[in-house]
A and B are shown apart, each in its own frame.
Chain A
Amino acid sequence: MPDESARTRQGLRTRGALLRAGRQVLEQRGYHKTRIADITKQASTSVGTFYLHFKDKDELFRQLLIAVEDEVYGELSPRRTEAVDPPQRIEETNRLYLQAFQRNAQFWRVIEEASLSDPEPRRVLDERLRLYRSRTERAITRWQAAGVVDQDLDATLAAAMLGSMTERCAYHWFVFGNAPDLEDAARHLTTLWLDMLGMATTA
Chain B
Amino acid sequence: MRDSQSGTARDALLLGAAKVFADKGFFGTRITDITKQAGVSAGSFYTYFESKEAILGAVMDSFRSGDPSTAAIAPATSADAAEQWLRDALTTAVEKFADNARMWRAVQQAALGTDEIRVRVRDQQDEVVASVAVGLAPLIECGLARPGTPAEFVARALVAMTEESLFQWYLLQEEPVARDVAVDRLVWAWLRLLRLQPAGEAARA
A interface, CB within 8 angstroms of B: 30-33, 109-110, 112-113, 116-117, 122, 126, 157, 160-161, 164-165, 167-169, 171-172, 175-178, 180, 188-189, 191-192, 194-196, 198, 200
Contact = CB atoms under 8 A, between A and B. Distances in A.
B68 interface: no
Given A168-B160, A195-B195, A176 B113 contact: no
28 contacts: A30-B112, A30-B113, A30-B114, A31-B112, A109-B112, A110-B112, A113-B113, A116-B25, A117-B25, A117-B27, A126-B172, A161-B185, A164-B165, A165-B157, A165-B161, A168-B163, A171-B160, A172-B156, A175-B112, A178-B126, A188-B149, A188-B150, A192-B149, A192-B154, A192-B193, A195-B193, A196-B193, A200-B195
Nearest to B125: A172
The list of the 10 closest CB pairs from A to B, nearest first, reads: A168-B160, A113-B112, A165-B161, A164-B164, A168-B164, A30-B113, A32-B27, A188-B149, A176-B122, A191-B148
A161 B161 contact: yes
Contacts of B189: 161, 196
B113 A192 contact: no
B36 to A, nearest CB: 21
B113 A31 contact: yes
A198 B160 CA distance: 20
B114 A116 contact: no
B113 A164 contact: no
A98 B64 CA distance: 31
Contact of B28 (A112, A117, A122, A161): A117
Nearest to B129: A172
A178 B123 CA distance: 11
A117 B109 contact: yes
Contacts of B125: 172, 176
Interface of B: 25, 27-28, 105, 108-109, 111-114, 118, 121-122, 125-126, 147-150, 153-154, 156-157, 160-161, 163-165, 168, 172, 185, 188-189, 192-193, 195
A117 B122 CA distance: 21
Given A191-B148, A195-B195, A33 B113 contact: yes
- B interface: dominant SS: helix
A164 B148 contact: no
A122 B7 CA distance: 40
A29 B121 CA distance: 18
Contact of B109 (A113, A161, A169, A189): A113
Most chain B beta-carbon contacts within 10 A, residue among A31, A112, A164, A175: A164
Given A192-B193, A198-B192, A161 B165 contact: yes
B165 to A, nearest CB: 5
Contacts of A157: 185, 188
Contacts of A160: 165, 168
Contacts of A176: 111, 118, 121-122, 125
Nearest to A176: B122
Contacts of B111: 176
Given A176-B118, A200-B148, A116 B109 contact: yes
A162 to B, nearest CB: 8
A12 B84 CA distance: 62
Contacts of B126: 178
Contacts of B27: 32, 117
Contacts of A169: 156-157, 160
A194 B149 CA distance: 12
B124 to A, nearest CB: 10
A177 B122 CA distance: 8
B192 A32 contact: no
A31 B156 CA distance: 27
A192 B125 CA distance: 20
A172 B193 contact: no
